[in-house]
Amino acid sequence: MEHKIRVFSTQTCPYCITLKQFLKENGFEFEDIDVGADQETAEEMVQKSGQKGVPVVDIDGEIIVGFDREKISKLLDIKE
Amino acid sequence: MLAPIVENYLGLEPPLAGMELVNKMVSQLKRNELEIKEGVKVEGVESDGQIVIARNKNDSYQAKTTIIATGRNPKKLGFENEKKYLGKGLSYCSTCDGPLFRDKEVAIIGGGDSGATSVLEMEPYASKIYWIVSTYRATPLYVDKIKKIGKVEIVEHSRAAAIKGNDFVTALAVKNKESDQEKEIKVEGIFVTIGSVPNSSLVENVIKLNEREEIEIDSDNKTSKENIFAAGDVTSVPYKQLAVAAGEGVKAALSVYDYLLNRE
């Protein structure tokens, strides 16, 4: 099943790097949005997630705050 | 892992970000065919002196021995509304969240090196930085550098008194410990960098901890339980630095090797 994945992150955030690595290692493509560089997408992230921390990942419209491995694996059907 | 740059680990030239160094370490371990169980949160540890069991909600793992190397977590302010504002303007990681506060006014609490490096990290982003310092513990070189930055206002002899806000942080109240006067600083971001606490709750009823809740170890990294060893920042080792933790990990591994060879 195809998923639409958008990752809101900053360039310096270690958890963001780990999350993106996790997605790549499991073969998932995603839109990589640097909210540190783009004020508009930063505001979009705050509106969607209700908070100002990164990473935030949008999987098919479902918002996950932080690298919640269990929740992300469940949504993407990743078996570990 | 959170360090924006690691400059005090011998041989790392040019310096690397903490995360980059972690990735290299993991690659090396995987190349040596060590099985790494990623994403497993151990919730309990028990030992009868012969077998150690580590549990999480789905699984348990048994072994003859274990090394606890759980490190430390950021120290919290201890305010009632602290959890409410986490991610709503309050952060313990300027490396992670700093860029989100571009052109905003922020406060950084903590007069040590973590606080000082957070101030320096935030300089490219924030429009104004209030550095809340109760006592200067930071490296003087950092303090001198910070004093030259025009957008930084150092609030000396002061502690955080309260976090104010509605849905998001709007201000930080600070108290001067000498005059006892309190004032409110309007900010949209607060970074808490007041030190760290050992991540030892997992074993607090299993092995001996010191008064700082660190795992007590001897020179061979043995704990109070025969088949449990510990290494790094979670232990009573006096210096909490990366190079020290790495060396302690090696010592613990060698001690475990000796223990297993000599065990009946």
Residue of A21, A50, A54 with shortest CB distance to B97: A54
- At B221-233, the pLDDT tens digits run 999 999 999 999 9
Q: Which residues of A touch B22 (CB under 8 A)?
A: 14
Rounded to two decimals, the ipTM of the complex is: 0.85
CATH number at residue A48: 3.40.30.10
d(CA B197, CA B212): 8
Confidence of residue B194 (pLDDT cuts 50, 70, 90): very high
Q: For B172-188, what is each residue's pLDDT tens digit?
A: 999 999 999 999 999 99
Residue B252 carries which side chain, given as an amino acid letter?
A
- Helices (H) and strands (E) counted in chain A, each on its own, are 3, 4
From the list B89, B96, B189, the residue facing A10 with the nearest CB is B96
Residue of A nearest to B19 (CA): A14
pTM of the model: 0.86
Q: Which of B173, B79, B86, B83 is nearest to B130 (CA)?
A: B173
Q: How far is A7 from chain B (nearest CA, A)?
A: 14
- Domain extent for A10: 5-76
Inter-chain contact A12–B99, Cβ cutoff 8 Å?
yes
- Write the single-letter amino acid at B145: K
Considering only the beta carbons, identify the residue of B1, B87, B95 that sits closest to A12. B95
Which domains are assigned to chain B? 37-72+203-262 (3.50.50.60), 76-194 (3.50.50.60)
Question: Alpha-carbon distance B194 to A49, whole Å?
Answer: 27
What is the spatial distance between Cα B193 and Cα A74, in angstroms, rounded to a whole number?
Answer: 34
Cβ distance B2 to B96 under 8 Å?
yes
The count of domains in chain A is 1
Q: Which residues of A touch B102 (CB under 8 A)?
A: 36, 39, 42
Among A9, A10, A12, most B C-beta atoms within 10 A, so best to mutate, is A12
Across the beta sheet with B105-109, the strand order is: B90-91, B189-192, B105-109, B128-132, B152-155
Spatial distance between the Cα atoms of B192 and B108, rounded to a whole number of angstroms: 6
Residues of B in Cβ contact (< 8 Å) with A18: 19
Q: What is the mean pLDDT of residues B46-70?
A: 92
Tell me the Cα Rg of chain A: 12
Closest residue in chain A to residue B58, using alpha carbons only:
A70
The band of B60, judged by pLDDT with boundaries at 50, 70 and 90, is: very high
* Residue in B with minimal Cα distance to A50: B88
pLDDT-derived band of residue B40, with 50, 70 and 90 as boundaries?
confident
